[in-house]
Amino acid sequence: MPGDGRPSRVDAPRPQEEPRSSPQGTNAARIPAADADAMADEDAATDLRLERLAAEQQFTLWHDLVQPLFRVGVEDEAMATFRAEVRGAPISDALLTACTSRAQSFERSMSDVRSSGWDHVVIQHYVSGGFEGRCGDRDVSVRAGDINVLDLNRTLHTRATDFSNLTLILPRDRLPIAGSHDLHGRAIGGDSALAAVIGSHMRSLAEHAGSLSPREASTAIEALCLLLAGSDLREADPMVRAAACASVHERICTYIDRHLDDPALSPAGIAAACRVSRATLYRLFGFDGGVMAYVAGRRLDRAFMALCRPDDGRSSIAQVAFRSGFTSETHFSRSFRTRFAMSPRDARRRAREGLHPAGAAPGLGPRDWLQAMRRIRETF
């Protein structure tokens, strides 16, 4: 891996490999201060290696990092030997990660689905290891070489062995087959030629992630989606109505995200702009406590990330609040404390002092998650 803090690729994990260590410590510790700005480039790959921390510390950071996607757990007796490393890079509007870790459980409840705001599909290639469990109402068993698909709008409870995998997280609308079929927990067996082709494609994406132009990256993602569309996944049971609702929900969420700084954002305006009735709008956001509760949560998450950015110290708390769409600093501070159990000032102070690494706040997207990984790395 290059030492300038901007790796050009996401190395595909090697089967059953121990996380690598160095007598010099992690690369993060050797990056010169002059390269800090380069690391902030949102299109750069980022690695998070925790081997110089105690096992329990590694798990704590790993748990906080993965939480927007899954809640992870390990057996008490396995905590002393826990290890994990992950490397991620944005590819077009998707996120590709290479991960190696010890055995653990993964869970995503309906509460997690409602609070996370991630309307994405996950495509995984297990280089080694695998998992068993339940995805929605489907029993699943994934082995090395398999290609599996997860839907972040659905629940899961699985248990993985020691594993190495590649994971691609992409917006639902990039995979058309996800709009008409229930793909959650579906897998293409590793003994099939198509699984080998898709696995090779994902490993190639990992290797060349940093060298692709935006157009090339988008084309590479489209090619992968075409391969999946030609697979046996299309034989999954159709859920057209549910998928249509998910598509409308995603379109509305995108509109909301683009207008969070508008204090006049309202249910009537959202419904008109997205061409849905107010009744439909309220129904789609029923699990979120209502559409305006969802808007408030997204605004708070945006403010949280802004306060935890090292370069945001020149903005006052009031400026951060107003840029996030709030019209009252008092209301903002009260709502912030309710959501994050700390004041905005405390969040900024703890981020500066490294006492409370800024995890990926609920409701933020893949690129925000990548930024959170960078900040966690910088704390040690």
Q: Which token pair is 111?
A: 């509460």
d(CA 207, CA 222): 17
Q: What pLDDT is recorded for position 107? A: 93
Taking CB atoms within 8 Å and a gap of at least 24, the contacts of 330-338 are 332/303, 335/296, 335/300, 336/300, 336/303, 336/304
Over the range 313-328, which residues count as b (16 or more CB within 10 Å of their CB) and which as e? eebebeebbbbbbbee
The architecture that CATH gives domain 27-238 is: Sandwich (2.60)
d(CA 29, CA 25): 6
Positions in the chain whose pLDDT score sits under 50: 1-8, 15-40, 234-241, 243, 356-363
- Report the CATH number of the 242-378 domain: 1.10.10.60
Q: What pLDDT is recorded for position 50? A: 72
Rounded to whole angstroms, the maximal C-alpha distance in the chain is 62
Q: Which token pair is 331?
A: 């209301």
Closest C-alpha to 349, from 323, 312, 376: 312
Residues 6+ positions from 85 with CB-CB distance below 8 Å: 19, 20, 47, 48, 49, 50, 51, 99, 100, 101
Residues 6+ positions from 342 with CB-CB distance below 8 Å: 336, 350, 356
Residue 341 has, within 13 A of its CA and on its CB side, a CA count of: 2
Domain boundaries, the chain: 27-238, 242-378
Q: What pLDDT is recorded for position 380? A: 55
d(CA 205, CA 212): 9
Residue 105 amino acid letter: S
pLDDT in tens, 223-247: 998 888 877 654 444 444 454 555 6
CA 107 to chain centre: 14
